[in-house]
Chains A and B, each alone.
Chain A
């Protein structure tokens, strides 16, 4: 062409071309992130830049709550102090007793050659914020890999389990709460030891108890504890309480709804449990190894008589 368009009409690349490029890139990102989940290094790099701004925007709300705390009167503080001292005395009494019981339990387990109960360490964490997302219910906490958190570490408070670490950064972590749509936790009913799984149903929805036959012995008000079969959650922590049971005899199914015991989105302080039963698991000894001869038929390895 001899004559090109005058500069007045030059507007750079057309918006449609930019749109197509952006859409292709974001589609590729979505598919890679969904299938391979290998883009977390981008997240952690960008998060290094974003965290200071996010922390900055937490200041107004923490100043409001902190100002409220500062202005609480002396009498309320004294009352609180007395109550806390009483509670501490009670708890330390209980702790003495439970230490005795733990020693006795461990001893008995040794005698019976059962697996040892594994202890866990705790890391105090603080919830930073609860990012908007219609599909999930997560919080970001202020401790990460550098403070010893692991992928899958449970997060709990004094009431019970809150959730689990699903994404780990250097100094922060994303925690999936019990309400999260993809969340599942193995539980047992405290009253009769029935095992099942509690599954999240999305933000502000009740949890659901699944994988139980319709005739199971369940009542409204039953407390569900972690069963510990997954090796992720230490056994015996409170998870949820059954709040509604819809039995549907025609389809031989029942919808059991439960609500979390810990107010999962109310508190800022929580504990991360560093629990790894495999570290302490001993290799099978001569005593508890499966019997080699006699009794049950065993499958032969291929190619051997």
Chain B
């Protein structure tokens, strides 16, 4: 794969690194952050990232399973996260050509609606099941914005093992 930011060819990805990074993101979500509107969902950043960059290894099913785990962890209605995670994973796969070609800052703007969908989704489900809109639930757009701001960090950290050293040996330019 070509890194569109630096123009270098990336090393092939190590599938175990993908799964370990997803698991670590899940563990970071388990940290006792408290229930605040600004706490980012680290796992969805990681899932969307890998769905955009390596959708051969991580797809809709992985997102669904992690969504179920998050449902049970957060005590939400079973299936809320599973639905939104798998939907978002599909959107990420569908958009991956477009998003990877953009510079990272523009990518941030492109992934924001994806994160916003996940953050707002519980409110939408409540509206569909109870026919009442819980307006305060929309404060979780702050969460989506913070996740979008984490995107450059995620693309730096998660592509790190695939980057080649920049200093090229002058005797062997290729």
Residues of chain A touching chain B, judged by Cβ–Cβ distance below 8 Å, are: 11, 15-16, 18-19, 22-23, 25-30, 32-34, 39, 42-43, 46-47, 50, 53-54, 56-58, 60-61, 128-138, 140, 167, 174, 181, 201-205, 265
Residues in B neighbouring A28, C-beta threshold 8 A: 79
Contact of A26 among B27, B67, B139 (CB under 8 A): B67
In the complex the two chains form, is B32's CB within 8 Å of A19's CB?
A: no
> Could you name 27 residue pairs across A and B whose Cβ atoms are closer than 8 Å?
A15-B89, A18-B60, A19-B60, A19-B87, A22-B60, A22-B63, A22-B83, A23-B86, A26-B67, A26-B83, A27-B79, A29-B79, A29-B82, A30-B79, A30-B80, A42-B78, A43-B72, A56-B27, A57-B30, A131-B35, A131-B74, A132-B35, A135-B122, A135-B126, A135-B134, A138-B75, A202-B136
Cα of A95 to Cα of B134 in the assembled complex, Å: 45
- Contact check, B79 vs A129: say whether CB atoms are below 8 A apart: no
Number of residues on chain B facing chain A (CB within 8 A)? 52
Would A130 and B136 count as touching, CB distance under 8 A? Answer: no
In the complex, which of the residues A26, A61, A167, A181 has the most CB atoms of chain B within 10 Å of its own CB atom? Answer: A26
Min C-beta distance of A281 to chain B, whole Å: 33
Q: What is the CA–CA distance of A186 and B60 in the complex, to the nearest angstrom?
A: 45
B45-96 CB contacts (< 8 Å) to partner A = 55-56, 59-61, 63-64, 67-69, 72-80, 82-83, 86-87, 89-90, 93-94
Could you tell me the dominant secondary structure of chain A's interface residues? Answer: helix
A-B pairs, 8 with minimum CB distance: A29-B79, A26-B79, A30-B79, A22-B86, A26-B83, A57-B30, A26-B82, A18-B60
Residues of chain A within 8 A of B35, CB atoms compared: 130-133, 137-138, 203, 265
Q: Which residues of B contact A16 (CB under 8 A)?
A: 90
Q: Which residues of A contact B119 (CB under 8 A)?
A: 134
Which partner residue on chain B sits nearest A40 by CB separation?
B78
- Chain A residues whose CB sits within 8 angstroms of the CB of B32 once the complex forms: 57-58, 61, 128-130
Q: In this complex, what residue of A is CB-closest to B67?
A: A26
Residues of B within 8 A of A27 (CB): 79, 83
Judging by beta carbons under 8 Å apart, are B74 and A132 in contact? yes
Residues in B whose Cβ lies below 8 Å from that of A137: 35
Determine whether B109 belongs to the interface, using a CB cutoff of 8 Å to chain A.
no
Residues in B whose Cβ lies below 8 Å from that of A25: 64, 79, 82
Chain B residues with Cβ under 8 A from A202's Cβ?
Answer: 134, 136-137
Contact A15 B93 (CB under 8 A): yes
A22-B60, A129-B32 given; name 10 further pairs at CB < 8 Å. Answer: A15-B89, A16-B90, A26-B67, A27-B83, A33-B78, A43-B72, A134-B123, A138-B75, A201-B136, A202-B134
Distance in angstroms between the alpha carbons of A248 and B173 in the assembled complex: 80
Known: A58-B32, A132-B41. A15 touches B60 (CB 8 A): yes
CB of B160 within 8 Å of the partner chain: no
Contact B122 A18 (CB under 8 A): no
**With the chains together, A122 CA to B77 CA distance in Å?**
30
Question: With A53-B27, A134-B123 as given contacts, are A29 and B86 in contact (CB-CB < 8 Å)?
Answer: no
**In the assembled complex, B116 has its CB within 8 A of some CB on chain A:** no
**Across-interface contacts of B122 in A (CB, < 8 A):** 133-135
| Residue of B27, B75, B80 contacting most chain A CB atoms (<10 Å) | B75
> Are B78 and A39 in contact, CB atoms less than 8 angstroms apart?
yes
